[in-house]
Amino acid sequence: MGPGAVRIAQLLESVGREVGVATAIAPPLADLAHVATAVSIPVLAQHVDPGDAGARTGYVPVESIAAAGARGSLVNHSEHPMSMPDIEDAVRRLSEHRLAAVVCAADVPAARRLAATHPPYLAVEPPELIGGNRSVSTARPEVVSGTVAAVHSVSAGTQVLCGAGVHDRRDVARALDLGAEGVLVASAVTRSPDAERAIRELLAGF
């Protein structure tokens, strides 16, 4: 949070550019504009609400994150779940504002349903593995490969990301071998005593 969010964003930008891997970051909403002005990599919101901007105190409309400099948003993260109608509305509104939606799914059936919203990105993250020490690509590889197959059968243009427990280059490489096109990571970097080392380790998997 705060200066820490900016520091991690700048490290991610620097190391990603050095090793030639495309990166993006989703800081806490309170830090969104601050981080977006500090780096040139895409900065995403962690959540966006459906509906128009207006008399909606406490909500996060798409217009708000666009004004803050965001390039898109996570949608339906397991720590901030949304109803299907709200997901559909959020994805549609993000697209209308030319912002990217990264829709999160807990498993293969959910990924198949959510792919019908045709988001540019869909991330599969079994909730029970988030923040843990075992990657989904190791503990449940069939979830990754199954999601890739399910999503591409519904929405050919959607890129699949793999999250939950991704900690090192081996986890990343396994995810790519299973058909994912990227990873979604939090605790492996934010809990590390050496964020730069953690970022370098993860990006080495590409």
Position 130 pLDDT exceeds 70:
no
Position 166 pLDDT exceeds 90:
no
Nearest to 42 by CA among 123, 85, 92, 98: 98
Position 27 pLDDT exceeds 70:
yes
**pLDDT recorded at residue 129:** 62
**pLDDT recorded at residue 141:** 82
Q: Which helix or strand (DSSP H or E) is residue 174 part of?
A: helix 169-177
- Give dist(CA 139, CA 9) in Å, integer: 29
Domain that holds residue 104: 3-203
**pLDDT recorded at residue 23:** 97
Q: How confident is the model at residue 135 (pLDDT cuts 50, 70, 90)?
A: confident
The model's pLDDT over 169-197, given as tens digits with 9 standing for 90+, comes to 999 999 999 999 999 999 889 999 999 99
- Give dist(CA 122, CA 155) in Å, integer: 10
**pLDDT recorded at residue 173:** 92
Choose the catalytic residue: 34, 125, 167, 201: 125
**pLDDT recorded at residue 20:** 96
Q: How confident is the model at residue 132 (pLDDT cuts 50, 70, 90)?
A: low
Contact yes or no for 67/95 (Cβ under 8 A): no
Q: How confident is the model at residue 131 (pLDDT cuts 50, 70, 90)?
A: low
Q: Which of 76-80, 120-124, 128-132, 167-171 has the lowest mean pLDDT?
A: 128-132
The residues with which 75 forms a beta bridge, in sequence order, are 103
- Give dist(CA 45, CA 74) in Å, integer: 6
Instruction: Give Rg (Cα) of the chain.
Output: 16
In total, how many domains does the chain have? 1
**pLDDT recorded at residue 125:** 86
- Give dist(CA 18, CA 199) in Å, integer: 12
Position 201 pLDDT exceeds 70:
yes
Specify the 3-state DSSP secondary structure of 74. strand
Choose the catalytic residue: 77, 97, 152, 196: 77
The model's pLDDT over 64-105, given as tens digits with 9 standing for 90+, comes to 999 999 999 999 998 999 999 999 999 999 999 999 999 999
Contact yes or no for 126/182 (Cβ under 8 A): no
Specify the 3-state DSSP secondary structure of 56. coil
pLDDT, mean of residues 111-125: 95
Write the CATH number for 13.
3.20.20.70
**79-110 burial string, b = 16+ CB within 10 Å, else e?**
eeebeeebbbbbbbbbbeeebbbbbbbbbbeb
Q: Cα 146–163–40 angle (5° rounding)?
A: 125
125 is catalytic: yes
